[in-house]
């Protein structure tokens, strides 16, 4: 079943039921080496999914849960090994979206929920987009939109000496350092083990059918056919307003909230090229820029 969260739609299944998890990977056509996040109704339910709570995870959950944060902890044996792609760790998240929270509390089991999109495609923030990718492959979708953030949770490995941000999100490194000063981003040191800890980042992600090109400023010349080109950013001009699909966002929060749906709508309108103005890498912009780069196939 697909349900809205405050980040993107999740596709949920009982994390202790190996057959259900197998169907979930099939529905998304997801590579088996990319682990799933386990969702809980309340922080107090953590013993259902993790074998141990670490002081860093406890502090971060106290500060940011329920909300767009995933903490990686040692895995509980009852979680199917396919959920964690064979890793000894599990990602835990407690969403703040009221519908997600109600479903998870009602479920009473830990719920593995990857983003509810075909693997490799942009995540979904509207229920219609979930059906576009998964109709006929899933049991149900809640006909309500995701709310607010628009890009996936911050994933933080809390199993080591310092928390390591494996995937940036709305909970910024700066905010995490305000709670645990030693926290760092993956790749900040030469430790090769970061890659091993988050294998999912190796696969293509967030890519529309159209080619995505990142730009610093909106182009003003007419070198590209406007009927096959889309543009999104924080600044537009006369040329960008003539394109097949265009959007200028007033704030970084709006840009992040609408980015995936913009890519999908550009595809629906038949765009062949999507020009994406790079987000300023401050606040939510850091996570948005990460998604923009991946959409463009740059990382
Ligand atoms: O906001 C979100 O996190 C959304 C909503 C539905 O909650 N979910 C989501 O799931 O984005 P998914 O499957 O699209 O992304 C899961 C990410 C991947 O980058 C994966 O590698 C990482 O979390 N991850 C999951 N378990 C992990 C683990 N044990 N160790 C390291 N990384 C893990
Ligand atoms: Mg995903």
Q: Mind listing the pLDDT tens digit for each residue in 245-275?
A: 999 999 999 999 999 999 999 999 999 999 9
The pLDDT-based confidence of 147 (bands split at 50, 70, 90) is confident
The answer, yes or no, to whether any atom of ligand 1 lies below 6 A from the CB of 93, is yes
DSSP H or E stretch at residue 101: helix 98-107
Mean pLDDT of the chain: 93
3-state secondary structure of 22: helix
The pLDDT-based confidence of 222 (bands split at 50, 70, 90) is low
Is the per-residue pLDDT at 195 higher than 60? no
- The ligand with the least distance to the CA atom of 205 is 2
How high is the pLDDT of residue 204?
83
Whether residue 214 contacts residue 260, with contact meaning beta carbons closer than 8 Å, is answered with no
Residue 207, Cβ density class (10 Å: 0-12 exposed, 13-18 middle, ≥19 buried): middle
Measured between alpha carbons, how far is 53 from 233 in angstroms, rounded to an integer? 41
Kindly give the distance from the C-alpha atom of residue 59 to the centroid of ligand 1, in angstroms, as a whole number: 20
- The ligand with the least distance to the CA atom of 11 is 1
Mean pLDDT of 198-221: 85
Kindly give the distance from the C-alpha atom of residue 35 to the centroid of ligand 1, in angstroms, as a whole number: 7
Kindly give the distance from the C-alpha atom of residue 110 to the centroid of ligand 1, in angstroms, as a whole number: 14
The answer, yes or no, to whether any atom of ligand 1 lies below 6 A from the CB of 111, is no
Position in ligand 1 atom list of the atom nearest CA 113: 6
Pocket test for ligand 1, best of 39, 200, 290 (most atoms within 8 A of CB): 200
Position in ligand 1 atom list of the atom nearest CA 9: 6
How high is the pLDDT of residue 196?
47
How high is the pLDDT of residue 201?
65
Is the per-residue pLDDT at 114 higher than 80? yes
Measured between alpha carbons, how far is 187 from 194 in angstroms, rounded to an integer? 7
- The ligand with the least distance to the CA atom of 118 is 2
- The ligand with the least distance to the CA atom of 36 is 1
Mean pLDDT of 227-239: 94
Residue 221, Cβ density class (10 Å: 0-12 exposed, 13-18 middle, ≥19 buried): exposed
The answer, yes or no, to whether any atom of ligand 1 lies below 6 A from the CB of 5, is yes
- Tokens 């913009």 correspond to what residue? 262
The answer, yes or no, to whether any atom of ligand 1 lies below 6 A from the CB of 82, is no
Measured between alpha carbons, how far is 293 from 299 in angstroms, rounded to an integer? 6
3-state secondary structure of 146: coil
Pocket test for ligand 1, best of 15, 152, 194, 287 (most atoms within 8 A of CB): 152
Measured between alpha carbons, how far is 23 from 46 in angstroms, rounded to an integer? 24
Q: How far is CA 240 from CA 103, 228, 232, 235, in A?
A: 42, 12, 9, 9
Q: What is the pTM of this model?
A: 0.95
């Amino acid at each position: 079943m697909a349900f809205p969260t405050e980040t993107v739609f999740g596709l949920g299944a009982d994390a202790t039921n190996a057959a259900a998890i197998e169907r979930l990977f099939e529905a998304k056509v997801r590579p088996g080496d990319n682990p799933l996040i386990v969702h809980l109704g309340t922080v107090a339910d953590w013993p259902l999914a993790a074998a141990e709570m670490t002081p860093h995870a406890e502090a971060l959950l106290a500060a940011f849960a329920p909300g767009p944060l995933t903490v990686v902890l040692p895995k509980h044996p009852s979680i199917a090994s396919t959920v964690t792609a064979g890793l000894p760790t599990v990602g835990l998240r407690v969403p703040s979206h009221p519908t997600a929270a109600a479903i998870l509390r009602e479920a009473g089991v830990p719920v593995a929920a990857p983003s509810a999109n075909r693997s490799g495609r942009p995540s979904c923030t509207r229920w219609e987009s979930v059906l576009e990718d998964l109709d006929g492959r899933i049991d149900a979708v809640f006909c309500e939109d995701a709310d607010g953030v628009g890009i996936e949770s911050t994933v933080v490995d809390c199993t080591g000496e310092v928390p390591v941000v494996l995937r940036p999100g709305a909970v910024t490194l700066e905010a995490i350092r305000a709670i645990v000063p030693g926290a760092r981003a993956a790749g900040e040191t030469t430790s090769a083990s970061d890659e091993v800890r988050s294998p999912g980042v190796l696969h293509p992600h967030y890519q529309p059918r159209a080619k995505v090109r990142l730009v610093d400023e909106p182009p003003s010349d007419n070198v590209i056919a406007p009927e096959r080109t889309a543009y999104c950013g924080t600044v537009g001009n006369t040329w960008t307003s003539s394109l097949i699909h265009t959007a200028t966002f007033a704030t970084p929060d709006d840009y992040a909230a609408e980015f995936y749906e913009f890519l999908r709508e550009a595809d629906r309108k038949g765009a062949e090229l999507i020009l994406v103005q790079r987000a300023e890498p401050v606040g939510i912009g850091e996570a948005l820029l990460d998604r923009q780069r991946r959409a463009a196939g740059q990382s």
